[in-house]
Structure 1
Amino acid sequence: MSELINNTEQRIKQLHAFFSGIIRQQEKGALLIKTYEKSIEQVQPFDVVAVVDILMKEDLSGEALQKLKKGINRSLNMLYKGLVSREIPKYEQKPFFGILQQENNALNDRLIALRPFIKAFNEKDADRQKIVHSLSEIKKRVEALQEFNLHYVKMENILFPYIEKHLPEYGCLPLMWSYHDDIRNMIKDTVAVIGDGNTDLKRLNRLLGDLFFNMYAIRFREEYILFPVVFDMIPQKEIHNMLEQAFDMGFAFIEPPSKIILEGRPAASVSSKKGDSFLSMDELGDRLLDFDTGRLTISQAVIMLNHLPVDVTFVDENDEVRYFSTPGDRIFPRSKAIIGRLVENCHPPSSVHIVKELIDSFRKGEKQKESFWIQVGGKFVLIQYFALHDKEGRFRGTLEVSQDVTDIRKLDGEKRLME
């Protein structure tokens, strides 16, 4: 056993040197491959996870992250043969992973169906009518790929929090989230290029090439690197909880699986730390809770919070997510898996520094609130953050409130009568 551990540690050390050499372009790729040939041939999924975790803890400000991503792409291409030769789990044995694999298979079918139209508009003898038809089909089919965002949302909001609980070396997760964001932007940019009426075919080809590469790459990294590492690490009860939460998020390109697979199993519960003590809604029953300005049962409080025309998320003084409301038309997806999760892990790398700086300013008392507004999915969304302090002035956490203000911005004059 000690020999196995030592071999693993040595392989990780050598692969880290290999990745670093590729990223920093210290030597030519062929020379690096020759130097670390044995470790490259013997690579295991966990080796990659461990190496990326180390790399993510190094300086990743600004351009460094982009350089890292390009270097990892090149490095993993060189490790492809070794990784694809490893036996992967039978994902259908654990339905949550099976669903993710089914979605990947369905994505693959759509990418294959898209290829003939890309080929058609690139043919030397293609006439204008053929090009116009091909571009129309490409736009329609690339727009349809936006549905696959549901797959990435399940990864980021359900699977990632459970991995963070069980795998200390989870630095690859924010990196994968960053690739997800790249794909989202590539889809938007591709549709925009075709829709501007004067399509730049050279740019379109480049965007489509990047889109195909990244979507295929993420699928490979899920099924041959990340999933094999965590498949047996996450307890069966939690796998079931993940599956239950998946029904709230939705499914990409596949029919929702039958909920029969959930029957007879424990209901999903929010994650909690060892030593946490709490009473469930059933245990509290109709007992009145004194809120100083009124008394409500817990069920009344929950109904009230879920009917506010805003999304509410509460992060405590330890920067852990403790609560989120569930209005019927929530703007940003949330799952029970994020309860107890560090708030910095709930954001992609591109915005983590903003979140950290904001909460730090709240904690120091330098700010009491901050507002942002963005446009997403045709909605104008106002996002506000409030610093929470108790009567003694101690920092107790941060409240995030998001609201669709699209219709509010259109208001004019007065309305005093009921319709």
Structure 2
Amino acid sequence: MGGIPVEERKHALKEILRQLHEGVSPEEVKEKFRQIIEDVGPEEIARIEQEIINEGVSREEIQKLCEVHLAVFREQLQRQKVEAKPENPVNILLEEHNALQQRLEKLATLTEKIKQADDPEAVKEEIFQLKSLAAELLDAEKHYLREENVLFPALEKHGITEPPAIMWMEHDKLRESKKLLKNLLENHDKMDFQAFKNKLTEVANAIRNSLSSHLFKENNILFPTALRVVTEQEWAEIRREFDEIGYCSFTPEKAIKETAAVLEKIEAKKASVPIEGT
């Protein structure tokens, strides 16, 4: 890692955390953050964050640092693409992220239509569609479980422990928000329509903002790190364990079939290795 020494980077990042804790916005500190990590890749950033947490900084504070990271690099990272071979299991997660992003866009459209209505009868169809959409968002549970129980432990074996822990913490918050949306829609007819619209807008915006940010972090920080540190043999085992947990209703079948190739390659390699004594 060239440029600024690690200890100096950590001290500077802690100073940014102190400013964020005091109420300074991510926009105000993003230029300083950019200078600190301009020549550092996602894996190195993850390791620095790990060391800062080991020194007593909470995961909640590190999550604030993630938001600054996004403010600095969102435009740059959006021009890049996660480089993964077609058979890599990360592609399943990426395709599911694409599907979830599409559903967030639909959530915004339906919520806006309901918000503009004066009569609940005029948006019965939109409310019905939102109920279906809420169920699909909740169906992301197997996606979370595959990350939490398979991908995250694989990263932890390579010393990447805190970024997965932060992502898991965000999963739990998203679970609660999505349950809140489902319950709100199930009980909308028991509420004053204006109160329902206000609450729906609040909950839908919270889900859209937090889930979009979460997907971006995983796509541009967590997954590239995994692609660098996880071995081919480990990816084959990850793929097997993905199958055991299962997939979501919106998981593209094409991605599942393509990633089966990683298992075939490993099995072919095993078959080509001579057995001792033969």
**What is the TM-score normalised by the length of structure 2?**
0.79
What CA deviation, in whole Å up to 9, does each residue of 1:216-243 have, x standing for no partner? Answer: 1221111100111221211111111111
Deviation, structure 1 residue 131: 3.4
* Separation in 1, partners of 2:2, 2:79: 19
Match of 2:186 among 181, 186, 195: 195
Match of 1:155 among 144, 147, 156: 147
SS across alignment from 2:106 = helix
Structure richer in helix, relative to its length = 2
What CA deviation, in whole Å up to 9, does each residue of 1:36-67 have, x standing for no partner? Answer: 4523655532344134324433557xxx6556
Deviation, structure 1 residue 120: 0.2
Question: Alpha carbons of 1:105 and 1:18: their partners in 2 closer, same or farther (altered >3 Å)?
Answer: farther
Deviation, structure 1 residue 11: 7.5
Matched, 1:141 2:142: no
* Separation in 2, partners of 1:263, 1:25: 53
* Separation in 2, partners of 1:109, 1:28: 29
Moved more, 30-39 or 134-143: 30-39
Query: What does residue 210 of structure 2 align with?
Result: 214
Deviation, structure 1 residue 8: 6.7
Matched, 1:56 2:53: yes
Matched, 1:254 2:255: no
Matched, 1:183 2:200: no
Question: Alpha carbons of 1:89 and 1:32: their partners in 2 closer, same or farther (altered >3 Å)?
Answer: closer
Question: Alpha carbons of 1:220 and 1:27: their partners in 2 closer, same or farther (altered >3 Å)?
Answer: closer
Structure richer in strand, relative to its length = 1
Query: What does residue 114 of structure 1 align with?
Result: 107
What CA deviation, in whole Å up to 9, does each residue of 1:126-185 have, x standing for no partner? Answer: 43322333222212211221111111111111111111111x242121111110011111
Who wins on radius of gyration, i.e. which is larger?
A: 1
Deviation, structure 1 residue 192: 0.8
Contact 2:107–2:204 at 8 Å: present in 1 too?
Answer: no
SS across alignment from 1:91 = coil
Question: Alpha carbons of 1:228 and 1:65: their partners in 2 closer, same or farther (altered >3 Å)?
Answer: closer
* Separation in 2, partners of 1:101, 1:68: 24
Matches within 5 A, 1:319-330: none
User: Any gaps of 5 or more consecutive residues in structure 1?
Assistant: 268-419
Matched, 1:13 2:4: no
Deviation, structure 1 residue 85: 5.8
**What is the TM-score normalised by the length of structure 1?**
0.54
Deviation, structure 1 residue 113: 2.6
* Separation in 1, partners of 2:108, 2:33: 36
Supply the RMSD in Å over aligned alpha carbons: 3.0
Structure number with greater CO (CA < 8 Å, separation at least 6) is: 2
Contact 1:23–1:68 at 8 Å: present in 2 too?
Answer: no
* Separation in 2, partners of 1:198, 1:40: 52
What CA deviation, in whole Å up to 9, does each residue of 1:86-145 have, x standing for no partner? Answer: 74442244421111111111212222233321110111x543322333222212211221
Contact 1:19–1:75 at 8 Å: present in 2 too?
Answer: no
What CA deviation, in whole Å up to 9, does each residue of 1:19-40 have, x standing for no partner? Answer: 4134422756555335445236
User: Any gaps of 5 or more consecutive residues in structure 2?
Assistant: 269-278
SS across alignment from 2:228 = coil
Query: What does residue 276 of structure 2 align with?
Result: none
Match of 1:33 among 30, 45, 49: 30
Contact 2:104–2:208 at 8 Å: present in 1 too?
Answer: yes
Question: Alpha carbons of 1:28 and 1:218: their partners in 2 closer, same or farther (altered >3 Å)?
Answer: closer
Aligned residues: 258
